[in-house]
Structure 1
Amino acid sequence: MAKAKTNYTCTECGGIVNKWAGQCPSCGQWNTLVETIMEAAGNRFSAKHQSLAQTAPVLNLSDIEASDVPRFGTGIDEFDRVLGGGLVPGGVVLIGGDPGIGKSTLLLQALSNLTKIKKVLYVSGEESGAQIALRANRLVLDTHGLALQAEIQLEKILNTLADHKPEVVVIDSIQTIYSDALSSAPGSVAQVRECAAQLTRVAKTMNITMILVGHVTKEGALAGPRVLEHIVDTVLYFEGDTHSSFRLVRAIKNRFGAVNELGVFAMTERGLKGVSNPSALFLSQHESQVAGSCVMVTQEGTRPLLVEIQALVDSSFAPNAKRLSVGLEQNRLAMLLAVLHRHAGVAAFDQDVFINAVGGVKIAEPAADLAVLLAINSSMRNKPLPRSLVVFGEVGLAGEIRPAPRGQERLKEAAKLGFTIAMIPKANAPKQKIEGLTIIAVDRIDEAMSRIRDIDDAN
């Protein structure tokens, strides 16, 4: 038998080359080329499936009536928040996360709620019907009206969609689905890309809300080609440690809502439950004041969250001092330490510095800079910051403190949770006084350190 011809496909951009190379010539990424079997020309999909996509007429944009996209809720408030208000008819959602983190549990709960208002279908390629029924019984879910199909062949799934005509479909997972039109194995780059494209085409044509479950790599990114994220309308990621009882769902892409929205869940015996006050999760409960702890207000989408930043500074006995950051960008920590030395006179070149964001939350915005520096200074001086202090602000290389977006919402959230002192950038100072909150507006890092020392002397 003749050996099947192969080529190499980039998992980032989908580019195809004949020979393996360390760097993709199309997008420049390294170690992204994987071997795939070459497909015969004109044999990707049968004419039956090609006919699903009708030729769209050419229209003038000014003649198209703009209307709000109708939504329907899943019955899980935190999930609806991340989705931008609910699911959209014809929308395709891709949700990824580590194994065992709760993807299937959350979707099974959502489908159980949707059976009351929609015709739903759960397509399982990883678990048998008995396993899913066992999970539903454990979660005490009402599964009347929840249709289930254990199938991994794309053509059979498409026939079921045409016959059953569901309104909401969950594919668990896209890496297990394969098409007979392609000879490569399930989970390969070609299979994942083409199966996702076919399912998306059917969802748009039949106005089906489709949710695809995706595997993730050891780096935490969605497995398969990067074009998979471009095909779908919404991309959600599960975050958090599988050993913890809390789960975070973050929107990375959303054509129908705001990105970087965050949903907070607690894993219980009855499945995932939404957390109404997530700020309490990210604040440690110290019996007494401790040095190296500072509370900041971060903005996750439209939601302000209070997060405790912890710092530990210790003498280094190695030639190169350690710089370790958990939940914050490590390169930014090195930059902030240089700014602290140059513009505030606080040197840490011979100190090991460790930074941690409590609760496993990941903070990407630069508004955490001021909280990080105050926590480091507090640990070095071994003097705790006031328990009622909350801060936010970006620190520039010149030592200036830059404003953060949505400062008013951050301050109101801090006041609601009982904080009485806020150190913020001068540009974020509110025009009207917020009841119960004393504002300390600063525009340079040395001024912020001086104000903190004044508070310590007053106490």
Structure 2
Amino acid sequence: MAKAKSAFVCTECGAEYSKWQGQCSNCREWNTLTEIRLGSSRPGATAAGSASARNGYAGALSREVVDLSGVDLTEVPRFSSTFEEFDRVLGGGLVPGSAVLLGGHPGAGKSTLLLQTACRLAQSKRVLYVTGEESLSQVAMRAHRLQLPTQGLKMLAETSIETLLAVAERERPEVLIIDSIQTMHLEDIGSAPGGVAQVRESAAALTRFAKQSNTVLLLVGHVTKDGSLAGPKVLEHMIDASLLLEGGSDSRFRTLRGQKNRFGAVNELGVFAMLELGLKEVKNPSAIFLSRSEEQAAGSLVMVVWEGTRPILVEVQALLDESALGNPRRVAVGLDHNRLAMLLAVLHKHGGLFTGDQDVFLNVVGGVKVLETSADLAVLLAVVSSLQNRPLPRELVVFGEVGLSGEIRPVPSGQERIVEAAKHGFTRAIVPRGNAPKQAPEGMQVVAVDKLAEALEAL
């Protein structure tokens, strides 16, 4: 009898161990090791597997050693997904032979987005949509409800990778959509679908097929409680692009953000609106995020953030209230909690305003997550406005990074941010001196500041 080999893989980082242990030595997480079977240890089994793997990639990868200067720099051919916002996050469109993983919470709209994409692409390309979570009638009902063109779209309800690949070899699709990777399984793997081994090996087999046949592979992935992609960490290393569709159940807006992209930037942001007929692109996100009330309120201020290749105007709101607790609360929604604490310390040290006895609540309107530091100055001025209960002018826009010594540092693409604010009717801007334009847009008054104290005086 051949002896079965097994290994223990960490579900968080993908590290492998020969025996079980309570803590992963690589990522320091506890109770994350899962046992997987590696197959038979018969003589020649490993060599056969290695040969099979080599043959699998032979069509996609070159065995010849070439000089880097001699590599062909021809632009990788792309084609549109029929959604401009989707193309923006992908880096310009879908690349043949690429593997794209789309994740998101239940109800975010992953299947809806891909079904809309599949139905539109099927009018001009060969598309195969594989569903492992829903029946074909359920998918057809959704397509009918969304009033999508269904002619030409090939459908398959299957969870077996072997059967799926056999059908794909026969149909030769240009776009292959798998919904979802957690439902797929290989017969040779003993664990249940959704396990570490099944997800890893299924993704490897599908990616290998995509590279060989020059097929665009779109995978749907589940997420964990903290919002990260479920499954082994090696899954994210296998694919070419990892996208996350975000949006709360109480909001009709969805944001598509790239977390990894071998064919484009990872900081691009696409905005969609969930309507009765599915997801619709939002071409001008600033106009939606700036839907402010007519009445001026203290603690409300508009800032300009840079997402990928475009500026977006969003509103930040601050609320300060006298705390009844010994340790006042610091709550930030859409911003880094630790950075908020640092900015409050800078405000006390270099601005002379004490907030240690106040509960501080901060919110970015529209559910946008601000990841860059250009929001620092706007956050502090909104806090000051709420602390002193003095509304700020509605025509004021602010951006700039705040250093620990109270200096206001310039941020990238400052000129473009000011122009975007002027387009939306803002007439006054407080910006870092390093971002001050030589000639301000018509009707725009630009106040350049070097220190936090100067910005407070400019209010």
* TM-score of the superposed pair, with normalisation by structure 1: 0.94
Which of 83, 94, 113 is the equivalent residue of 1:106?
Answer: 113
Tell me what 2:56 maps to.
52
Offset, 1:53 = 2.3
Residues 1:77 and 2:84 are matched in the alignment: yes
Structure 2 CA distance for partners of 1:97 and 1:45, relative to 1, 3 Å: farther
Tell me what 1:8 maps to.
8
Tell me what 1:292 maps to.
299
Which of 336, 353, 359 is the equivalent residue of 1:352?
Answer: 359
Tell me what 1:335 maps to.
342
Q: For residues 164 and 122 of structure 1, what CA distance do their matches in structure 2 show?
A: 12
Offset, 1:50 = 6.4
SS in 1 for 2:417: helix
Residues 1:23 and 2:27 are matched in the alignment: no
Q: For residues 322 and 287 of structure 2, what CA distance do their matches in structure 1 show?
A: 32
2:56 maps to amino acid: L
Q: Deviations over 1:83-120 (max 9, x none)?
A: 11111111111100011111011111111111122111
Whether contact under 8 Å (2:8, 2:33) holds in the other structure is: yes
1:52 maps to amino acid: G
Offset, 1:242 = 2.2
Tell me what 1:437 maps to.
444
Tell me what 2:36 maps to.
36
Q: For residues 220 and 138 of structure 1, what CA distance do their matches in structure 2 show?
A: 29
Which of 124, 134, 159 is the equivalent residue of 2:131?
Answer: 124
Tell me what 2:177 maps to.
170
Q: For residues 190 and 356 of structure 1, what CA distance do their matches in structure 2 show?
A: 40
Tell me what 2:187 maps to.
180
Offset, 1:174 = 0.7
SS in 2 for 1:35: strand
Offset, 1:49 = 7.3
Deviates more, 1:40-49 or 1:376-385: 40-49
Tell me what 2:270 maps to.
263
Q: For residues 232 and 120 of structure 1, what CA distance do their matches in structure 2 show?
A: 20
Q: Percent identity?
A: 58
Offset, 1:40 = 2.5
Deviates more, 1:386-395 or 1:36-45: 36-45
SS in 2 for 1:408: helix
Whether contact under 8 Å (1:327, 1:363) holds in the other structure is: yes
SS in 1 for 2:40: coil
Offset, 1:58 = 2.4
SS in 1 for 2:56: coil
Whether contact under 8 Å (2:123, 2:151) holds in the other structure is: no
Structure 1: gaps (5+ residues)? 453-459
Offset, 1:322 = 0.7
Q: Deviations over 1:305-343 (max 9, x none)?
A: 111010000101111111111000001111100000000
2:139 maps to amino acid: I
Tell me what 1:315 maps to.
322
2:187 maps to amino acid: D
Whether contact under 8 Å (2:5, 2:40) holds in the other structure is: no
Q: For residues 30 and 104 of structure 2, what CA distance do their matches in structure 1 show?
A: 23
Residues 1:420 and 2:427 are matched in the alignment: yes
Whether contact under 8 Å (1:45, 1:181) holds in the other structure is: no
1:53 maps to amino acid: Y
Q: Deviations over 1:185-214 (max 9, x none)?
A: 111111111111111111111100110110
Structure 2: gaps (5+ residues)? none
Q: For residues 78 and 418 of structure 1, what CA distance do their matches in structure 2 show?
A: 25
Residues 1:242 and 2:240 are matched in the alignment: no
Alignment of 1:269-280 (within 5 A): 269-280=276-287
Alignment of 1:186-201 (within 5 A): 186-201=193-208
Tell me what 2:455 maps to.
448
Q: For residues 359 and 101 of structure 2, what CA distance do their matches in structure 1 show?
A: 41
Tell me what 1:457 maps to.
none
Tell me what 1:228 maps to.
235
Offset, 1:45 = 6.2
Structure 2 CA distance for partners of 1:210 and 1:424, relative to 1, 3 Å: same
Whether contact under 8 Å (1:177, 1:187) holds in the other structure is: yes
1:23 maps to amino acid: Q
Residues 1:401 and 2:408 are matched in the alignment: yes
Offset, 1:162 = 1.1
SS in 2 for 1:62: helix
SS in 1 for 2:95: coil
SS in 2 for 1:52: helix
Q: Between Structure 1 and Structure 2, how many residues are aligned?
A: 451
Structure 2 CA distance for partners of 1:217 and 1:155, relative to 1, 3 Å: same
Q: For residues 69 and 4 of structure 2, what CA distance do their matches in structure 1 show?
A: 51
Deviates more, 1:256-265 or 1:417-426: 256-265
RMSD of equivalent CA atoms: 1.9
The runs of 4+ residues in structure 1 deviating greater than 6 Å are 43-50
Whether contact under 8 Å (1:343, 1:398) holds in the other structure is: yes
2:315 maps to amino acid: E
1:39 maps to amino acid: G
Whether contact under 8 Å (1:366, 1:393) holds in the other structure is: yes
Which of 158, 162, 169 is the equivalent residue of 1:151?
Answer: 158
Whether contact under 8 Å (1:71, 1:89) holds in the other structure is: yes
SS in 2 for 1:170: strand
